[in-house]
């Protein structure tokens, strides 16, 4: 390992590795139609997506309870998690095809993604005392681009073998793990918390700065993944089509992917204005977009497309800044635990939001359902300010 690695070089390598590792996240979405056809079971996309999210939630919870990113080298945790996630992704190709096998493998992919995404943020935090908001902006931006990638594949109408997709994404994850494991040592600000402490999580819950940052993040997560999940359906509604075509997939890609750019730009702005201001502005702006979506249906396409792109920009720009505030709210030896715990709770909230949205579609149109997401940003902003004021008192 290179102990003289600069923070900038480390960030570049972590961003690349993070993108490669998190490519596993939505690989199941890309091959779900083929697997559904092979098994003769229609409509398994939502199930495959949900088991990955559930695996990630359980994984982050386990990592947080046992303080794994703080008690062990986070670079080693990233390395071994990448290997295990890649292997379970590949087992879908190598083992006999059964729905149970697919779901268990994808669940375990999600479980070990807990050692990639939040741990990647922990490694970055150990390299930056200043400029952490910008660093995490690039890091979360890489995840957003990975999220958008399946929509690009569908939009380009590329006929890849489903097995090739899984082989390819597993190979990318392995490469990402080797990059961190062999070329990114633990950062200069890394502090090891060697003991297992059952009282750690209750003690963390007493820190108002952490509760403030987490509240904003939870409001953001109530909105984010539901918007991403249903934006293709919203585009179909606004276009007046019956089914989704390749141009709808391409537009979905741009709406989601532009958020990766805003994460990076927002991080650079946060260096000057501070993470708090950027996070609050983005969360308030995306909440406003929730309401505006009610009024753009039937208007010229450039208006509603413009709104969706602006929404895509604002809805992600706050994520790395809230994570920055989480990391800065606790002592260095507890950063990994705090980040994984907040991630776990945030993703649990996202599943509740998605399931509620799906339920409400029985009575409401998709634009009306997505308009109701504004409750998340509103509550996030209110609680963020509430705990922030309590820190001053």
Q: Are 367 and 299 in contact (CB under 8 A)?
A: no
Stronger pLDDT, 160 or 25, i.e. the higher one: 25
Would you say 330 and 105 are in contact if contact means Cβ atoms under 8 Å apart? no
Residue 85 pLDDT: 96
- Dist CA 96 CA 98 (whole Å): 6
Q: Is 2 contained in some domain? A: no
Instruction: Please answer whether residues 31 and 48 qualify as being in contact, where contact means their C-beta atoms are separated by less than 8 angstroms.
Output: no
Give the chain's domain count: 1
**CB-CB contact of 338 with 324 (8 Å):** no
Q: What is the mean pLDDT of residues 150-171?
A: 79
Looking at every residue in the chain, the average pLDDT score rounds to 86
For the segment 248-291, what is each residue's pLDDT rounded down to a tens digit?
888 988 999 999 999 999 999 998 888 999 999 999 999 999 99
Encode burial over 338-373: b for 16+ CB neighbours within 10 A, e otherwise: bbbbbbbbbbbbbbebbeebeeeeeeeebbebbbbb
CB atoms within 10 A of CB 128: 21
258 vs 251: CA distance, rounded Å:
11
Q: Inform me whether the pLDDT recorded for 141 exceeds 70.
A: yes
Q: How confident is the model at residue 229 (pLDDT cuts 50, 70, 90)?
A: confident
Whether residue 1 is contained in a domain is answered as no
**250-254, 336-340, 369-373: segment of lowest average pLDDT:** 336-340
Inform me whether the pLDDT recorded for 4 exceeds 70.
no
- Structural domain includes residue 140: yes
Q: Is residue 194 part of a domain?
A: no
Residue 168 belongs to a domain with what CATH number?
1.20.1250.20
Radius of gyration of the chain (CA): 20
- Quick one: pLDDT band at residue 195, thresholds 50, 70, 90? low
Confidence of residue 243 (pLDDT cuts 50, 70, 90): low
pLDDT above 90 covers a percentage of the chain that reads 40
What local confidence, expressed as pLDDT, does residue 307 receive? 96
Of 113, 264, 116, 127, nearest in space to 179 by CA = 116
Site of tokens 């088991």: 51
pLDDT of residue 199: 64
Query: Is 196 a domain residue?
Result: no
CA distance 345 to 341: 6
Q: Is the pLDDT of residue 25 over 90?
A: no
**Residue pLDDT, tens place only, 98-122:** 999 999 999 999 999 999 988 888 8
- pLDDT tens for each residue of 289-320: 999 999 988 889 899 999 999 999 999 999 99
Angle, to 10 degrees, between the axis of helix 117-125 and the axis of helix 319-328? 60
Pairwise pLDDT comparison (244 vs 392), residue with the higher score = 244
Q: Is residue 223 within 8 Å of residue 286, measured between CB atoms?
A: yes
Contacts of 242 (CB under 8 A, 6+ apart): 236
Does residue 47 form part of some domain?
Answer: yes
Residue 16 class from Cβ within 10 Å (0-12 exposed, 13-18 middle, 19+ buried)?
Answer: middle
Give the range of the structural domain holding residue 158, as residue numbers without chain letter: 7-189+201-392
Per-residue pLDDT tens over the stretch 27-55: 777 677 788 888 888 767 777 877 888 99
pTM: 0.84
- Residue 393 pLDDT level (bands cut at 50, 70, 90): very low
Exposure b/e, 31-55, CB count within 10 A at least 16 = b: bbeebbeeeeeeebeebbbbbbbbb
Q: Cα angle at 205 between 202 and 211, to 5 degrees?
A: 170
**C-alpha 284: how far from chain center:** 19
Give the tens place of pLDDT for each residue, 49-67: 778 889 999 998 898 888 8
Residue 195 lies in a domain: no
Angle at 101 between CA 97 and CA 102, to 5 degrees: 80
Instruction: Categorize the per-residue pLDDT at 197 as very low, low, confident or very high, splitting at 50, 70 and 90.
Output: low
pLDDT at residue 3 greater than cutoff 60 = no
Least Cα distance to 26 among 114, 113, 121, 122 occurs for 113
């Amino acid at each position: 390992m290179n102990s003289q690695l600069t923070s900038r070089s480390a960030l570049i390598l972590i961003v690349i590795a993070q993108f490669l590792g998190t490519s596993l996240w939505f690989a199941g979405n890309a091959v779900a139609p083929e697997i559904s056809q092979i098994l003769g079971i229609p409509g398994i996309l939502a199930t495959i997506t949900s088991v990955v999210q559930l695996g990630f939630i359980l994984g982050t919870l386990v990592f947080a309870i046992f303080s794994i990113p703080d008690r062990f080298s986070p670079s080693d945790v990233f390395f071994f998690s990448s290997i295990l996630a890649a292997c379970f992704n590949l087992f879908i190709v190598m083992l006999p095809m059964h729905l149970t096998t697919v779901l268990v493998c994808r669940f375990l992919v999600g479980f070990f993604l807990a050692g990639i995404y939040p741990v990647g943020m922990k490694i970055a935090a150990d390299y930056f005392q200043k400029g952490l908001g910008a660093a995490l902006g690039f890091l979360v931006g890489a995840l957003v681009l990975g999220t958008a990638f399946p929509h690009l594949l569908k939009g380009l109408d590329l006929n890849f073998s489903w097995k090739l997709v899984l082989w390819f994404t597993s190979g990318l994850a392995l490469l990402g793990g080797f990059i961190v494991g062999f070329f990114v040592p633990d950062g200069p600000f890394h502090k090891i918390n060697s003991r297992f402490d059952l009282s750690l999580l209750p003690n963390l819950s007493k820190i108002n700065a952490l509760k403030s940052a987490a509240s904003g993040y939870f409001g953001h997560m109530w909105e984010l993944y539901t918007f991403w999940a249903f934006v293709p359906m919203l585009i179909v509604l606004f276009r007046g089509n019956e089914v989704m075509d390749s141009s709808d997939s391409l537009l979905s890609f741009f709406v989601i992917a532009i958020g990766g750019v805003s994460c990076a730009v927002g991080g650079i702005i946060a260096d000057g204005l501070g993470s708090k201001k950027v996070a609050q502005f983005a969360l308030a702006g995306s909440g406003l977009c929730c309401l505006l979506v009610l009024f753009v249906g039937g208007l010229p396409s450039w208006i509603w497309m413009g709104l969706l792109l602006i929404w895509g920009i604002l809805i992600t720009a706050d994520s790395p800044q809230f994570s920055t505030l989480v990391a800065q709210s606790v002592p260095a030896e507890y950063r990994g635990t705090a980040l994984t715990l907040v991630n776990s709770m945030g993703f649990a909230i996202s599943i509740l939001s998605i399931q509620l949205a799906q339920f409400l579609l029985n009575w409401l149109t998709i634009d009306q359902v997505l308009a109701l997401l504004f409750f998340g940003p509103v509550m996030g902003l209110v609680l963020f300010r509430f705990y922030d004021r309590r820190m001053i008192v």
